[in-house]
Structure 1
Amino acid sequence: MRKTVTIIFTVIAIAICFIHYLGYDPKNMILISLSIPLWIIPFFTDIAHVNLFFAYALTIASWALLGYIVDRYVFRARARD
């Protein structure tokens, strides 16, 4: 099984975090709008109290997981044919 989508999604997540870390996202709009864990965290705690590197790790892990799910779905769909 090739993991093309997993790699692409992981690179996208790393780019999102890198853009935010470098300061090109001063209002946090890109990070918050494209990070699935940062959609859920405000339900449990104030987002200002979350460690930034922990948020980056969760963002990268969630995008990699989504890519893996897509790859598995494509693999199973191709195996049926």
Structure 2
Amino acid sequence: MSLVPSAETRIPLGKSGLAVAPLGWGMWRFGGGDRASARRRVEAALEVGCTLFDTADIYGSGGERGFGGAESLLGEVLR
């Protein structure tokens, strides 16, 4: 028996009607990297089944992107 859920496992996200992986990525420091590095990290997360990316509007690195930087960079990568 494995303690790690499989990549196919999904659980309800509250009452939203959405189902997500039971393990998410909190992106507090994500906004400070370059786009190529960010793309590699996001692709790796998607490959292992991550479907929940926590990008609160205050998340950022304090660098040039500042607050909201994680949301902004994730959006660029997923386009």
Normalised to the residue count of structure 1, the TM-score between the two structures is 0.26
Q: Choose between structure 1 and 2: higher helix proportion.
A: 1
Larger radius of gyration: 1
TM-score by length of 2: 0.26
> More strand per residue: 1 or 2?
2
